[in-house]
Amino acid sequence: MHPWKHLKTITRHKWLVMQGCFQVGLYWQGLTHDLSKYSPTEFGIGLHYFQGNRSPNAAERDDKGYSEAWMHHKGRNRHHYEYWTDLSYRTKQYEPIPMPRKYFVEMIMDRRAACIVYQGENYRDDSALAYFEKSREKSLMHPETSRQLRYVLTMLAEKGEKETFRYLKQEVLTGAPWPWEKKTEEPENKS
């Protein structure tokens, strides 16, 4: 067990998310991000499975076949797409629903911070996109959330943090339409 290292890791992650959230105007979310990681359920399991180069939840899952800490975490933190599922009256199955924009933006900050913490000096602006593209999660989240996430992570990879944060603050959080939602103007009929 590495109590100090685990505490340092989750606190650094929280600090990075808070800085990102503050830059785009999500002050409350920045302050309250991942507080459940300090709860007895998540912190204790995190201590036991701490490795330093990946989430303790992954190590717990490898050991037990599931992660109790993750189930606790995803049910309390709206910045995870897994939180945004509900029982469909039509199909009678749990299905993903689109994420509200403020939690979507917090998710971007969370993914960026996780890559910085776990990749260290190997972190690059395309790290979160690379992780997303190799995962199967894009098929588990709502298709619109997946499309939005790929778009923003691609922007981060290609244009960097400054431009991406500006876009999140001035476009996403203000409710502006996504590029694929914008209607193209039809030329006037000159007859």
> pLDDT tens, 16-66?
999 999 999 999 999 999 999 999 999 999 999 999 889 999 999 999 999
- Please count the other Cβ atoms lying within 10 Å of the Cβ belonging to residue 65: 7
DSSP state of 172: I
- What's the whole-model pTM score? 0.92
Q: How confident is the model at residue 2 (pLDDT cuts 50, 70, 90)?
A: confident
Work out the percent of the chain whose per-residue pLDDT is above 90: 92
Predicted local confidence at residue 186, as pLDDT: 57
Mean pLDDT of 104-119: 97
- What's the sign of the alpha-carbon dihedral 95, 101, 106, 108? positive
The overall average pLDDT reported for the chain is 94
Lowest mean pLDDT among 48-57, 104-113, 158-167: 48-57
Contact (CB, 8 A) for 117 and 15: no
